[in-house]
Amino acid sequence: MSITETVGREASLYLFDLQNYARENGCQADNNWQLTRATLDEKRELERSYELIISGKYLPEAIPQIFRLVNSKLNPAEILKDADSKLSSNIGSYLVAYRTDKLKR
C-alpha cells in the first residue's frame, strides 16, 4: 500500500468517525467544526474546554496530507493558505476536531 493510499484511508476513517460522533451527539459533521493539529498537552486543554471533540494520533509526516483532505470536506470554503498556516504553527502528532459552539461550562 502506498503512502497516498494510506493517507487517503486514514482521512476517510477520521471523517467516518467524526460523522458518527456528530450523529450520536445530535449535530451534523459538516458545520461548526474547527480542525487543528495539536500536541498532547494542547489536545488535553481542548478536551477540557470543549464538549464535542474527536482526535486521532498520526505520524507527524502524514498529518499535513490528512489535515488537507479532512479540512477540504469539513470546510470547503476555507482558503488553502489559511489551512497551511494552521499546520505550520504546530508540530503536534494529533489531529483534533472540535465544535467551536460547544464550550464546557
What is the per-residue pLDDT across 10-25, written as a single tens digit (0 to 9) for each?
999 999 999 999 999 8
- Percentage of residues in the chain having pLDDT higher than 70: 85
pLDDT band at 100; cut points 50, 70, 90: confident
> Given pLDDT bands bounded at 50, 70 and 90, which one contains residue 57?
very high
In terms of DSSP bridges, do strands 33-38 and 94-99 run parallel, antiparallel, or are they unpaired? antiparallel
Of the candidates 72, 51, 65, the one whose C-alpha atom is nearest the C-alpha of residue 95 is 65
- Domain assignments of the chain as residue spans, ordered by start: 3-99
What CA–CA distances, in Å, run from 88 to 41, 63, 92?
Answer: 18, 11, 10
pLDDT tens string 65-98: 999 999 888 877 765 555 555 555 567 889 999 9
- H-type helices in the chain, by residue range? 3-24, 40-49, 63-74, 80-88
Give the residue, 6 or 96, on which the prediction is more confident. 96
